[in-house]
Each structure stands twice: as C-alpha cells, then as structure tokens.
Amino acid sequence: MRLRGIGYEDIPQLSRLFAQTKQHPLLMASPTRFIDVAAIVACANRIYVHTPGLGVWRADALDGTFIGLFSLVLIEGSTDVEIHVRLTPEAWGHWYAIEGTHLLCRQAFDALGLPRLFGYCHPDYRRIRQIMTRFGFSDLGLREHRGQVALCYELDASMWRERGQLAETLNWL
C-alpha cells in the first residue's frame, strides 16, 4: 500500500468513495458535490502546512488502485489527535485497515512523538472495534463526537511501544 497527500486531482475518486460509503452509518459527512470535496482537499492541504506530520492521505494498492483515505487530524477544540480510516467497499477485508492503522500509529508515536491517539467508530461497527482492540486501544465507552454518539478508543504511546517490542520479540523467536 502507498500513502500520499491528497490533491484536487483526487476529487473524482474521493467523491466516489464518499458516495459508496454514504449508506453506512458514519461519523463523518459524506459530501459528493465537487465544491464540498474540493473544500476537504483544501482543508487537508492546510493541515499539511500548519501541522506537519498530520494530514489526510490517499491510499493506493501497489497496483495503483485507489482504496481509500487514512488520516491523523486534530480533534476539534483539542490538542489530541484522531486516527481515521475510510476504505472503498472493494478494499474491505484485504487487511488494508490494519496495515494503514499500523503506519498511522508509527507516524503518530515514532515520528511525531504524540503521547496518545484517539479513534472513534460507529457503535454498530464490530470490525472496527476488533481492529482497535488488536492494536491495544482502550475502549473508553460511548462519547459524543462530531454531533453523534460514537465509541471512543485511546491508545497510549507507552502501550504502543510495549506491544511493538513484544511483537518484535515473538517474531524473533
């Protein structure tokens, strides 16, 4: 999988992504109008400039197929950072969410030195909850997020490092 910043040339694929996932209960808006998607791209590009290391990244499979978006963004009104994944339905079940989550955690903790990372998901998304647990995120229960009720998860940097060292040890044995 390859990640890169999003640009205006990505608007058609982003619009399709948002339209494909619109029927599912999400915690984020699913704009499909050109002007609304362009505003998301503009916002992402401001993030790249004003908070280096954070952002919204386009994900492509190694064959170049667009598979979705991964992001690390500030939680509104806070200095805490949220991890977010949105994949095309065709990409579901191919481990991209796990691979991308691993890359984003490395970025958050190893490159940026963040003390913790938050993730939110719709309460009905059992698969997302499993991924959060797999990475060591603690379930903080239901919280309001972006005007909706969401499950809140937190991953502490020390837990990330501890789990990473354990994984390296187990692979070595």
Task: Give the separation between CA 173 and CA 163, rounded to whole angstroms.
Answer: 15
Task: Tell me which range, 20-34, 105-119, 143-157, is most confidently predicted by mean pLDDT.
Answer: 105-119
The CA-CA-CA angle for residues 72, 12, 106, to 5°, reads 20
CATH architecture designation of domain 2-172: 3-Layer(aba) Sandwich (3.40)
Q: Residue 27 — very low, low, confident or very high, per pLDDT cuts 50/70/90?
A: very low
Residue 96 neighbours by CB under 8 Å, 6+ apart: 1, 59, 61, 67, 68, 87
Counting residues of the chain whose pLDDT is more than 90, the rounded percentage is 60
Match 């187990």 to its residue by tokens: 170
